[in-house]
Amino acid sequence: MKFATAAAILGFAASVSAHSTIYNVFINGVDQGLGCGVDANGKQTGGPSNSKYIRCPPNNNPVKDLTSSAVACNVNNAEAPQWLQVKGTDAITFEWHHDSATSADDIIASSHKGPVVVYIAPASSNGSGPVWVKIYEDGGSPSSWGVDKLIAARGRHYINLPNLAPGKYLIRPELITLHEADTAYSSNPARGVQLYPNCIQIEVSGSGSNTLPSGVAFPGTYTYADKGLVYNLYSPAGAYVIPGPAVWSSARGGGYGIGNGSGGQPQPTTTTTVRTTTTTRVGGSGAALYGQCGGRNWTGPTTCAQGTCKFSNDYYSQCLP
């Protein structure tokens, strides 16, 4: 119990300044530029007036009240002026940061354990009602938390679009962090699970044929009775279960790093184009597992301390098991 208490205190201390939000998006490996404004130090300046193609929140604070409308698209659900132009099977990569879009940024505190999920909804709904369809989830195990993988991948994860029919959509990537989730926010507002939802605007063209099925509502789907949202990270009572519905059967997977648009397998498989670019280096120097190990203009390590450096696209190679 002493360990659990100490760990909880450390988690609280880290949570004071270790939040995260999405800064930019890649389409098939091509950076689309910053989705929100930034200040002179590279720190995101959110809110409706600074939004480009992301419905940017004014800061990187989490959403904790599960009954709030902010569960859908954070505290700014105003339409942004730009819509990213994509095809129905493109790979969409999301890049998260804590303070700035730089190589020195810490992404999010390592104490913020939890899964990574992605939902999608028709833009005409503005995210209201039972419209959110889950197309990706990963990292619901204490031995393999999604946020740990995200940090190792320098804040990047991706999904392969599920052959969507033409139209406008909202994509909702979310980090669910559990370091203070031992108590429900409704019982103690100083604690509670921390949600980091962001909404990105895309417009699909082409010949895709998949239309979204009926989904779930935010708020409404997440409740304080959900064991995946009220969970003692430091003294778990049982296996963790990622909250929300099952992943849509037509989803095409995703993973960590930068997606190149080559497609994927149905969830829960994590997919990456496999082409070995360097040899494995066990226990030595080099990039960490799931870390970047190559790519155009990359100046970091090109070998792996664990795993093998595998090619994803011209801009990104990653250390994978």
CATH topology of domain 2-269: Coagulation Factor XIII; Chain A, domain 1 (2.70.50)
pTM assigned to the model:
0.80
From first to last of its 321 residues, the chain has per-residue pLDDT tens of 333 443 444 444 444 457 999 999 999 999 999 999 988 888 888 888 899 999 999 999 999 999 999 999 999 999 999 999 999 999 999 999 998 888 889 899 999 999 999 999 999 999 999 999 999 999 999 889 999 999 999 999 999 999 999 999 999 999 999 999 999 999 999 999 999 999 999 999 999 999 999 999 999 999 999 999 999 999 998 899 999 999 999 999 999 999 998 764 433 333 333 333 443 433 457 887 767 787 655 677 888 888 888 876 555 677 777
CA distance 293 to 232: 35
- Distance, CA of 252 to CA of 273 (rounded, Å): 14
DSSP summary character for residue 247: P
pLDDT at 145: 97
- Give the separation between CA 61 and CA 120, rounded to whole angstroms: 22
- Contact between 161 and 27 under an 8 Å Cβ cutoff? The reply is no
β-strand pairing of 292-294 with 316-320:
antiparallel
Contact criterion met (CB below 8 Å) for 145 and 108: no
Closest CA to 318 of 93, 86, 61, 70: 93
Domain boundaries, the chain: 2-269, 272-321
